[in-house]
Chains A and B, each alone.
Chain A
Amino acid sequence: MDGVVVRFTVNGEAAAVRVEPDWTLLRALREGLELTGAKEGCGAGECGACTVIVDGRAVNACLFPAVEAEGAAITTIEGVAAADGSLHPLQRAFLDSGAVQCGFCTPGMVLSAKALLDRTPRPTEDEIRTALAGNLCRCTGYVQIIEAVQAAAEEMSG
């Protein structure tokens, strides 16, 4: 295979992935690095299941050209928990609030929430809803997801 090598850090570790020009970041992560936590739910930026954080911002990895990730710092769901496996407060809150059912949307949902809390530690409910609006969920009705983000924000900002 020809293609080009893209170098970036993912979850704090340097990574180099050989990609084709038409690869998305999602494909680079899932196929190149076997980071399969990000899902493809629509391939069109309409469901958010592929959400990862690139340089501090939540993006749809299904619409993000892999070659544009050169030099970026990427966080995927695999890097949200601490290295020792202890859960991030958002993950803990998602569990305890019942915010996970089928779980397919969960990784993307957590990353959208994380991108929000990293920038806005004490968001209003409206800000939470806006930040999560691009992550569709068919199981939960979002109620417990919103509660989880509120709980995590509270815990994280003391």
Chain B
Amino acid sequence: MTAYACVGQPLPKADGIEKITGRTVYMHDFKLPGMLHGRIKFADRVSARIVSIDTSEAERVPGVRAVITAHNTPEVRFGFLKDNTALKKDRVRQYRDEIAAVAATTPEAAEEAVRKIRVVYEDLPAVFDPEEALGPDAPLVHEADPRGKPLEDNRLRLPWKVEAGDLEQGEAAAVHVAEGEYDVGWVTHCCMGTSGCVAVFDGRGDLTVYSNTQIPSLAKTDFQEALKAMGVRGRVRVVNAAIGGGFGSKLDTYAYEYIAILLAHRTRRPVKVEFDREEEFVATSPRQPARIRVRQGCDADGRLTFRHISMVLDNGAYTSWGATTPTVMMMPATSLYRVPNVRFEATCVYTNNTYCQAMRGYGTPQVTFAIETNLDELADKAGLDPYEMRLRNANEPGETTPQGFEVTTCGHRECLEAVAERLDWAGKRGQGEGGGRKRRGVGMACLLHVGGGAKIYKSDGCGTLIKMDDQGYVDVFSGSMDIGQGLDTVLRQIVAETLGIGTDRVNVIVGDTDVCPWDVGVHASRSTFVAGNAALGAARMIRDQILAFAEQLTEAPREILDLRDGQVVCQEDPSKNLPLEKLLYKAHFAKTGNTMFMASHFYEPDTRLLAGDFKGNYSGTYTWGCHGVEVEVDVDTGHVEIVRYVAAHDVGRAINPLLLKGQVYGAVLMGIGYALTEEMIFEQGRLRNANFRDYKILTARDAVPVETVIVETDDPAGPFGAKGIGEPGLVPTAPAIANAIYDAVGVRLHTLPMKPEVVLRALLDRDGGPGPA
């Protein structure tokens, strides 16, 4: 592959110095003159009719400037199905429902006022299990849809179904079949910076929202709709503060943002709403739980003949992106490994639990846990080494999958082989059973993820503007956003490479909808690919403009001119080399010039919107990977210790290996948390463990030295060959660990997390040990 000057370099993160010295301004640090502090009164019941809301005492708290409820503000609807409102008028459906809100001069006054809001409820029946919620007698979470049409049951009208090949034929051709049910619950993002925003109206009625959203452009549209609902004729600007972690949590707008807007409008002052940690746990939307049934089979040689996946999703009380995760779960369901006959169907059900959202992997960690654990079970039935089974069914470059994905580059096999070799698969597998209290085992699992955007919205594009000043500095205005993943740095490298200048000459500006072009958002591991291609396109236009001007200046033909090391280089006559600053100065000021170099490019991947039959190529390319893990299981305590962890990914090309490894390390540890320690514990809809002591994200003492393998396949569609890698690192983590536990101690676990008591229970049940006392 071509060697580059900037691309491929392990550059430190561009905003790192600001962060390392404590200068970065997060939403937590952001304030405006005259700013009020907003606080929300959340529901005290999980399902009830609101009989009355008495805010009189709250209004009398010194410093309080406004107390709003659904009764004294316009209705603002939001969400994927518009089934949620900023403030709830006559009904609560979950504990996080917003009943009222206060704006006050200090956070303390706002808190005191919220405590003094009196709500009278009339309890209604509630339902917490999605399958019970499907029953004929289940209480309705919503009696009517947003248009007022009565609903007869709790099932969401969503068409999540895809089918290819002939399932019955595939069943008939199968010699071995594995079937199982896999149940994965709620986990949450745990961004270290809690959510918040500041809303402010100017004198004309224009609204600015200072935000930590991952979707500046879509949030702008959402807020613009809110203004319309409020009868305000103004425009919206969304400006980002630095984001203290995203992971999908900020991929949709939340009630708190609309509440800040309503409070700012009511008080004519800037209003900040910022969650404390408990609110962050309770009132942001976690990963979508799922109850997944998998049935798949293979022929005598271990080649997959069919796969059938059906699932029930607990949607919670309102609808956000969680309900749409099946559209991405379809991808590994139909296309991870070559399976000719596939069917996938998902049912989403309203319950009185919290509603769900996007979280790193967008459904694929859930369904991959089911597929890859089940595949191990199938290999067992077929008497095959699970590694061999995977190799036999591995995806290949150039194939079109049953769902219609056009696979270009594919390093699936290389990733499998790398993991098997690094882990000493052949030497280690099957050694676990036998004596001793601590038994080791190895397991692996693979992943397929979108690596070139995901067209789940009308446009999957990103716009970029580039302007160049006359001193050789470049400003890149990208619609995308840096959420810590390193977009700022990757775009620098791409633009610097294209223009033959140092990365220190490139300034990346993101997070202001008045300045930056449209982008669908930071999700689907798309930013390096889509925003990278957008920046690359614009940079190439600048390059062309510079070279065209250089052609005039040097009278050397364009074909022999190049941009390198900050100069225009004439390959045949170095005496004609021209420092870029000189050229830029001439272009701007000399008689020949009076021009400045600017360019814009909107990159839209050549992909198909996922809808209708849900078939077609909906990503510009696909990322492949395999994770392998060696565990040690303590058979007396059920503790699982990670001994070694190998994560191999086909990333197309590593634009920045340092930051890329950071994505993998972080994702893997998040995946280990998903596998072993993390769970949101809901009892009757109430979250019990809304703090870091009881919600167990892993610590530095738990950190695992992950061995990363970077497979480069130089994707033709990617910027300099790159694919997305933001999410993949946690997609196959849980099944790899589950499979390793099986290899170590011979029990199959179908629920997450595989915490010690779960492992121990499975061992005791198998061995006829003491029952639950």
Which residues of chain A have a CB within 8 Å of any CB of chain B?
30, 35-44, 46-47, 49, 76-78, 80-81, 87, 91, 94-98, 100-107, 110, 128-130, 132-146
A47 CA / B28 CA spacing, docked (Å)? 15
B26–A101 contact, CB under 8 A?
no
B234 CB–A CB distance under 8 Å: no
B662 nearest CB across to chain A (Å):
5
Within 8 A of A (CB), among B652-699: 658-659, 661-662, 664-670, 691-693, 697, 699
A77 CA / B20 CA spacing, docked (Å)? 8
A136–B697 contact, CB under 8 A?
yes
Residue in A closest to B700 when the chains form the complex, CB atoms: A132
A81–B21 contact, CB under 8 A?
yes
In the assembled complex, which residues on chain A have CB atoms less than 8 Å from the CB atom of B17?
87, 95
A51 CA / B700 CA spacing, docked (Å)? 15
Residue in B closest to A104 when the chains form the complex, CB atoms: B244
In the assembled complex, which residues on chain A have CB atoms less than 8 Å from the CB atom of B691?
42, 44, 46
B216 CB–A CB distance under 8 Å: no
Q: Which 3 A-B pairs have the closest CB atoms?
A: A37-B22, A102-B484, A103-B19
From A41, A78, A146, give the contact of B194 (CB < 8 A).
A41
In the assembled complex, which residues on chain B have CB atoms less than 8 Å from the CB atom of A46?
277, 691-693
With A41-B192, A95-B20 already in contact, the answer to whether A145 and B697 are too (CB < 8 A) is: no
Within 8 A of A (CB), among B183-235: 189-194
B666–A141 contact, CB under 8 A?
yes
Q: A44-B692, A94-B20, A102-B483 are in contact. List 10 more A-B contacts (CB 8 A).
A: A36-B25, A36-B29, A41-B194, A41-B277, A103-B15, A103-B242, A106-B19, A141-B704, A142-B665, A142-B699
A31 nearest CB across to chain B (Å):
10
Report 9 cross-chain contacts, Cβ distance below 8 Å, ordered by A residue.
A42-B277, A46-B277, A77-B22, A100-B19, A104-B245, A129-B703, A130-B701, A141-B667, A146-B703
From A101, A134, A143, give the contact of B13 (CB < 8 A).
A101
A31 CA / B530 CA spacing, docked (Å)? 41
B700–A95 contact, CB under 8 A?
no
B21–A101 contact, CB under 8 A?
no
A141–B484 contact, CB under 8 A?
no
A145 CA / B700 CA spacing, docked (Å)? 9
B658–A98 contact, CB under 8 A?
yes
Interface residues of B, dominant DSSP: loop
Give the number of A-B contacts (CB < 8 Å).
172
A101–B23 contact, CB under 8 A?
no
A88 nearest CB across to chain B (Å):
9
B192–A87 contact, CB under 8 A?
no
In the assembled complex, which residues on chain B have CB atoms less than 8 Å from the CB atom of A100?
12-13, 16, 19-20
With A37-B21, A98-B661, A141-B666 already in contact, the answer to whether A104 and B706 are too (CB < 8 A) is: no
A135–B700 contact, CB under 8 A?
yes
With A95-B12, A102-B193, A104-B244 already in contact, the answer to whether A40 and B28 are too (CB < 8 A) is: yes
A121 nearest CB across to chain B (Å):
19
B485 CB–A CB distance under 8 Å: yes
A142–B193 contact, CB under 8 A?
no
In the assembled complex, which residues on chain B have CB atoms less than 8 Å from the CB atom of A130?
701
From A30, A49, A80, A144, give the contact of B661 (CB < 8 A).
A144
Residue in A closest to B22 when the chains form the complex, CB atoms: A37
In the assembled complex, which residues on chain A have CB atoms less than 8 Å from the CB atom of B751?
none
Residue in B closest to A143 when the chains form the complex, CB atoms: B665
B606 nearest CB across to chain A (Å):
31
B22–A78 contact, CB under 8 A?
yes
A135 nearest CB across to chain B (Å):
7
With A77-B21, A98-B10 already in contact, the answer to whether A142 and B245 are too (CB < 8 A) is: no
B24 CB–A CB distance under 8 Å: yes
Q: Which of A80, A94, A139: most chain B Cβ within 10 A?
A: A139
From A35, A81, A105, give the contact of B192 (CB < 8 A).
A105
A102 CA / B247 CA spacing, docked (Å)? 11
A36–B666 contact, CB under 8 A?
no
A5 nearest CB across to chain B (Å):
20
B243 CB–A CB distance under 8 Å: yes
A105 CA / B244 CA spacing, docked (Å)? 8
In the assembled complex, which residues on chain B have CB atoms less than 8 Å from the CB atom of A132?
699-700
In the assembled complex, which residues on chain A have CB atoms less than 8 Å from the CB atom of B189?
138
A57 nearest CB across to chain B (Å):
18
A77 CA / B21 CA spacing, docked (Å)? 6
Q: Which of A43, A100, A136: most chain B Cβ within 10 A?
A: A100
A141 CA / B707 CA spacing, docked (Å)? 12
From A39, A78, A94, A133, give the contact of B700 (CB < 8 A).
A133
In the assembled complex, which residues on chain A have CB atoms less than 8 Å from the CB atom of B664?
141
B486 CB–A CB distance under 8 Å: yes
With A39-B193, A141-B665 already in contact, the answer to whether A76 and B700 are too (CB < 8 A) is: no
Residue in B closest to A128 when the chains form the complex, CB atoms: B700
Residue in A closest to B486 when the chains form the complex, CB atoms: A101
B284 nearest CB across to chain A (Å):
13
In the assembled complex, which residues on chain B have CB atoms less than 8 Å from the CB atom of A106?
19-20
In the assembled complex, which residues on chain A have CB atoms less than 8 Å from the CB atom of B486?
101
In the assembled complex, which residues on chain A have CB atoms less than 8 Å from the CB atom of B668?
141
B26–A104 contact, CB under 8 A?
yes
Within 8 A of A (CB), among B1-60: 10, 12-13, 15-26, 28-29
In the assembled complex, which residues on chain B have CB atoms less than 8 Å from the CB atom of A36?
22, 25, 28-29
